[in-house]
Structure formats: structure tokens, C-alpha cells
Amino acid sequence: MRIKVYGVAAVFIAGVFLAVSHFSVSAQSRTETYAIRNARIVTVTGAVIENGTVVISAGKITAVGAGVAVPSGARIIDASGMSVYPGMIDSGTEIGLTEIGSVAGSVDTGEIGENNANIHVDVAIHPDSSHVAVTRVNGITTALTAPRGGEISGQSALINLDGWTPREMVLKSRVAMHINWPGAQGRGFEFAFAQQQRSVTEVRREQDRRIEALKKIFNDAKAYADAKDARAKDPSLPKQDMDLKLDALVPVVRGQIPIVVNVNTERDIKRVIQFTDELKLKLIIAGGVEAYKVADQLKAKNIPVLVGPLYRMPNNEDDPYDSAYANAGMLFKAGVKIAFQTSSSAESRDLPYQAGMASAFGLPKEEALKAVTIYPAEIFGVADKIGSIEVGKVANLIVTDGDPLEIRTQIKHLFINGHEVPLSSRHTELYERFKARP
């Protein structure tokens, strides 16, 4: 039953996305044909095939099954004793936007100003960033890269972690509008400093003021969108001044692009839900450390949660010690759709281990795997392209010697866009070089 509900939701979300987004078609020519044979195939959406073949051609999965013929000329990979999984998806990263945290010149994660609705990350992804290869060699083939600054941070992109140009990497751009919820705690140490001078009431009043300001922006965008529509119907109406920020919010207030809101406390999550209900926006929660406390409401309203990073403490001193780990399992039990995010670039390679840890604390293993494969694909409206091993999907695959969520498992082969990508990175190169030091 639960699967069915998800399915319906996914089709709905996917439909909405398809209506508004532009998929980029890879400019690379992918002429290679591969046949991965004798493999245990974990399709994620269908049954596990104990001994089968996956055929990849021109960037796509063209055949999957036990009795599949190997096309002539295919490069054959004997995967005896190995397993094939779909490449994993990190639902929230900064990959391509940052290189070295402390070096300002290498960091492009957050723009100045509170409203940057019009910026979009797809123009600033650095394809040759060392983080790209470091992440993918651990089996993560796709990442949502999101901007971080201000309150309305801008628009994210789903990128495949291989390509010569940003355009080759981008699977889908303008995936969502990202928002940092103006929480009672505020953001950063500057605010923490200021907060010490003020009473709880003052802090809350400030939060209310900021939420009202945010609401006004969305209402302005609605009015802007209405005016735009009206003029489209009636060109005799006066010409409307272009406002790039409001213009970028039109698909958001029309419910065509979701908002991803970074929010963690129970109180703030409730306020975000109220806020988006009132403005009729499509909501995805990100972070959501206390989302389990609001699980029923999230389920009732079909709001997905991008859980993570798991590597954090509980919000409150009296929360159970394991609440940050157990959150995902409790959300699953309540029927909330989840995916995992690391919220990082350097730590994105730990995505499978974070999902695995959530499983240790209550999320069924299969669900943990889905939450790094098919669920994010569904949440971001690309389930027809990635997230499982099915004919017609983009060939983002990993061949492993075991469960990809386990730390000790090694990735043996990696395919992105149907191309076999070498398992090297800045880290393996330094390793090889210094291992050879006399």
C-alpha cells in the first residue's frame, strides 16, 4: 500500500517537474556498449536478479535480466561474485561550488543578500573540482547541488558526477528553490552573539518579522505572476517592469517548482508547513532533525524530507541520544517519503554510511538503499531517468563486491551516463604516489 501511495505521488511530482524543467541532453557521444555479466543485480524497483546481465548502450540501460543476450562488440565485464546497483544520489550537496572551505576564492556556495531567487548553480559548477571524482569513486553518481546563502538562496541542479562541462554534468537544472528558514536561533555565530543580548521574546519577534518579510516576497511574486498572465492575455495592459527575483519565483508560486526549506526544530517545521499551506507552495523539508516529531503532519500533507546530515547531535538536551540517527526510521514508519543528504561536498562520499547508520537505528535496509536511489529520483522528478536499474534509464551504475552501504565494500566498476569512469581521484593519486616513496 505504501509503495502505491509513493508511486502515485512520484508520478504526480514527476509530471509537475516535466512541465517546467529543461533536461539537458548529454553532449558527449556515448557509443560504448557494455555487458555486465554473471552479476547479482539489485534493481531497487524490481526483484533482485541473482545471476544476470545488464547491457548498456549509448548511455542507457538497454537490457536487464537473467537470460539477456550479449550484443556483439560489447565490452564484457565479468561480475562473478559481484553486485550491480544503481548509482547513489546525494539529495543535498555543495559539490562543484566549493573546493577548500577556508579559501574564499574557492567557495561559491552562498551569495550576498537575503533574496537570491534568481541565481542558479548550474552556471557555477566546476567540472574539474577534485570533489567530483572523490565522491563518485564511492558510488555516488548523482548529486543535488544547492546554493546556501541568505534566506532565499537560489535554485539547485541535479548533476551527474562526470563530464567535461557543467552542461554535460547537469541532469536537471532549477530543481528546487532553496530557502533557509529564519529560525528562532538564526544563522551563524554573529546571530548567536546578538541573541545573547536579547530576550526570547525579542528573538521570536525578530523571527516573526523575517517570516512576514519572506511571505511578502512570495505574495509579491504571486501578484507579479498574475500581472504577467494578465498581460499575456491582454497586450493592451501597461508593460510590466522586469524583476528577475520575482520572475524566478513565478514557477514556485505556481507550484511548478518545489521549495526545499532547511529547517530542523519541531516548532519551525510546523511553521514552515503552515507558511507553505497558506501560500500554496510545494514543500520539501531538508535537514529536519526533529521531523520525527511532526511525522504525522508530514505524512498527511505528503511532504518529503531530505534527512541529514546524520552526523550531528540531537537538537535538544532531552532528546533521545540517538534521535538524529533514528529520525529516518521513524519518518519511514509514519509513511513519510525520505531521501538522504549530506549537506556537504567533502563528506558526500559518506552518504551510503549515513544511510546505513539510519538503518542501524530503525530504518529497514531496503528503505535505506531506496533513500539514496529511487526516492530522491522521485522527489526531484527524475525517476524516469535515474534511481534504479531499468531499461531506458540513464546508465548510472556501480559494480561492487558487497552491500554499497557498508564501509568495507569496494566499488569495482563505475558507470556514469553509460561511460565507464576510472576509479581514481585526487586521493588515490596521492596515495599511489606516496605509497611508492622509498
Partner 1 sequence: MKRINAIVISLVLAALSASAVAQNATRESVNSASSPAPVETLIQNATVLTASHGTIQNGSVLIRDGKIAAVGKNIKPRDANARVIDATGKYVIPGIIDCHSHTAVEGNVNEGTLSVTAMVRIRDVLNPYDVDIYRQLAGGVTTVNILHGSANAIGGQNAVVKLKQGKAVDQWLIPDAPQGIKFALGENPKQSNFQVPGRPRRYPATRMGVEETIRESFIRAKEYQHEWEEFQSKKDPNAVPPRRDLLLEALVEVLQGKRFIHSHCYRDDEILMLLNLGDELGFHVQTLQHVLEGYKVANEIAAHKTGASTFADSWAYKLEAYDAIPYNTALMTQRGVVVSVNSDSDERARRLYLDAAKGIKYGGMTEEEALRTITLNPAKQLGIDHRTGSIDVGKDADLVIFSQHPFSVYTVPEMTFIEGEIYFDRKADIERRESLKKEKQELIKREREQRTGPPSRRDDKKDEPALRPSEEGEGDGGGVR
102 touching partner 1, by CB under 8 A? yes
> 22, 47, 73, 189: which one contacts partner 1 (CB under 8 A)?
189
Contact 87, 102 (CB under 8 A): no
> 204, 215, 216, 301: which one contacts partner 1 (CB under 8 A)?
204
Between 53 and 400, whose beta carbon lies closer to partner 1? 400
Contact 227, 243 (CB under 8 A): no
Beta strands in 232-278 (DSSP E): 259-263
Site string for partner 1, 326-365 (x = CB under 8 A): -------------------xxx-xx-xx--xx-xxx---x
Q: Least distance to partner 1 from the beta carbon of 102, Å?
A: 4
Q: Least distance to partner 1 from the beta carbon of 170, Å?
A: 23
Between 187 and 412, whose beta carbon lies closer to partner 1? 187
Cell of 290: 526533529
Q: Least distance to partner 1 from the beta carbon of 271, Å?
A: 11
Tally of residues, the chain: 438
Q: Least distance to partner 1 from the beta carbon of 294, Å?
A: 12
Stretch that binds partner 1, among 78-86, 212-220, 277-285, 317-325 (CB under 8 A): 317-325
Q: State how beta strands 397-400 and 411-416 pair.
A: antiparallel
Cell of 218: 512570495
Q: Among residue numbers 35 through 64, which ones bind partner 1 (CB under 8 A)?
A: none
Q: Among residue numbers 365 through 424, which ones bind partner 1 (CB under 8 A)?
A: 365, 405-410
Q: Is the peptide bond before 86 cis (omega within 30 degrees of 0)?
A: no
Q: Least distance to partner 1 from the beta carbon of 230, Å?
A: 40
> 131, 136, 393, 413: which one contacts partner 1 (CB under 8 A)?
131
The 3-state DSSP class for residue 256 equals: coil
- DSSP assignment letter at 366: H
Between 122 and 350, whose beta carbon lies closer to partner 1? 350
- Considering CB under 8 A, how many residues would be counted as binding partner 1? 62
> 3, 196, 235, 238: which one contacts partner 1 (CB under 8 A)?
196
Stretch that binds partner 1, among 31-39, 97-105, 215-223, 381-389 (CB under 8 A): 97-105
Q: Least distance to partner 1 from the beta carbon of 117, Å?
A: 22
Q: Least distance to partner 1 from the beta carbon of 346, Å?
A: 4
Strand order in the sheet with 305-307: 88-93, 140-145, 152-160, 170-180, 259-263, 283-287, 305-307, 338-340
* Separation of alpha carbons 306 and 288, rounded Å: 7
H or E element in which residue 421 lies: none
CB burial of 343-360 (b: ≥16 within 10 Å; e: otherwise) equals: bbbbbbbbbbbbbbbbbe
Contact 390, 64 (CB under 8 A): yes
The amino acid at residue 156 is S
Provide the 10 A C-beta neighbour count for residue 317: 6
H or E element in which residue 135 lies: helix 130-136
CB burial of 56-89 (b: ≥16 within 10 Å; e: otherwise) equals: bbebbbbbbeeebeeeeebeebebeebbbbbbbb
> 87, 150, 166, 183: which one contacts partner 1 (CB under 8 A)?
183
Cell of 283: 514543500
- DSSP assignment letter at 98: B
> 72, 112, 321, 392: which one contacts partner 1 (CB under 8 A)?
321
Site string for partner 1, 254-283 (x = CB under 8 A): ----------xx-xx---------------
311 touching partner 1, by CB under 8 A? yes
Cell of 267: 516548532
Between 57 and 83, whose beta carbon lies closer to partner 1? 83
What is the binding site for partner 1 (CB under 8 A)? 99-103, 130-131, 183-185, 187, 189, 192-193, 195-196, 200-201, 203-204, 264-265, 267-268, 287, 311-318, 320-322, 345-347, 349-350, 352-353, 356-357, 359-361, 365, 405-410, 426-427, 430-431, 434-435, 437
